[in-house]
Chains A and B, each alone.
Chain A
Amino acid sequence: MEHKLDDFFRKKIESTEDTIPESSTFDEQAFWGELQKNIDKPQPKNWWKWVALAACIGGLALWGILLPKPLPQQPQTSRVKKIVESIKEKQDPITAVAPQKTKKQTPQVKPKQTIEPNKDLEIAVAELSFKPTPLPTQALVIKQDSIHINPVSAPTVMAEAKPQFKKIHVNEISNTEQSPMPQPKFKIRFAARNQH
């Protein structure tokens, strides 16, 4: 039942879809015009991807330049090490030729000639030598009279007159400063009479 119904609808719909109903508002030509405009429009390019890529490359390059480079080391892989070791093992110690030591030709230096001091010359030098006599050192002494202050030229500083205080005993102050106790305006007095 199911397949028959599906087949029936499929056939009918497939034969329908080549035409557009008269009630439809769809205008093929106008739609094509719109579509053509959109086809001709340049598609937005993913320029930002290229910018990001360039920035990454630039950053890496800068990083490579600015980083202090470690001393160049010859990379030795395990394979290379094995090859080197195998070559070392294969080497015949008898057939190995020791490298000839090349003698360095150093220029022949003449032995140093020692000049013995002449005694006559020593005396002459002693006579000519100048011995400076030490001068007596004098300590700088500033005499009292040497300091002279001109009273006219010096600016006059007027000392402020000190306020004169009267010496009073503490008890006197306490007596004078004691103000009368504030009294409430309305006094409530309680009186109690003794009945007895």
Chain B
Amino acid sequence: MQELQLIQELQKQNPFVQKRVYDRYVKRMFRLCVRYVKIEADAQELLMNGFLKFFNAVAKIEYRGENTIEPYLKKLMVNECLMFIRQRKNNWVLMEEIADEEPISDFSAYDKFEEEDIYQLVLKLPDGYRTVFNLYAIEGFSHKEIAEQLRISENTSKTQLYKARLVLQAELTKLGYNYGT
């Protein structure tokens, strides 16, 4: 079934199509929520709110080609996560003890790393670093947008991202030793 048909059926509140859309995206959306809030219980709550909003507001979706539903759903979920983070009031504290290392120039050696290990590296990041890294590197937000969304300054966003990269690189290097690179 094409996305246009899916959207039309969703607008008719067709339960079979709802289940189909749910099955298609639930894992990805759950992972996304966990990536932001780390705790699975919180992620499930956000997932529930996000899906409910999606199914209730499906009439507002404008068809924009074959890739319409996923970005819409993703945006909803990210917004839910950011609302949650704003309520939780993150501490945008910087880690002091990060040693500047030589930047990794060639990532081909890291391609054999398990995806799950990489995912876990992101989860290990402190809340502030993780949020900014997720928004900038994974979702593609600009620093200005991040600053607006998280109600922080652009400079804070930049610093958080810089530090997050340093931590990730250090962790990647550590992981490389485990992999024997």
Contacts and interface: CB of A to CB of B under 8 A. Distances in A.
Interface stretch (B29-37, B60-68, B147-155): B29-37
A25 interface: yes
Contacts, number: 86
B30 A26 contact: yes
Contacts of B28: 17-18
Q: How would you classify the secondary structure of chain B's contact residues: helix, strand, loop or mixed? A: helix
Contacts of A162: none
Contacts of B118: 8-9, 12-13, 16
A159 B119 CA distance: 119
A26 B138 CA distance: 23
Q: How would you classify the secondary structure of chain A's contact residues: helix, strand, loop or mixed? A: helix
Contact of B165 (A5, A24, A28): A5
Nearest to A34: B48
Contacts of A81: none
Given A18-B28, A19-B27, A5 B48 contact: no
Contacts of B103: 1, 5
A53 interface: no
Given A18-B28, A25-B40, A9 B55 contact: no
Contacts of B136: 6
Interface residues of B, number: 38
Nearest to A20: B27
A36 B15 CA distance: 9
A20 B116 CA distance: 10
Interface of B: 15, 18-19, 22-23, 26-28, 30-32, 35, 40, 44, 47-48, 51-52, 55-56, 103-105, 107, 110, 113, 115-116, 118-119, 122, 133, 136-138, 165, 168-169
10 contacts: A1-B103, A5-B107, A7-B107, A8-B107, A10-B137, A16-B115, A24-B40, A26-B40, A32-B26, A39-B56
Given A2-B165, A10-B138, 4 more contacts: A6-B137, A9-B137, A13-B122, A17-B27
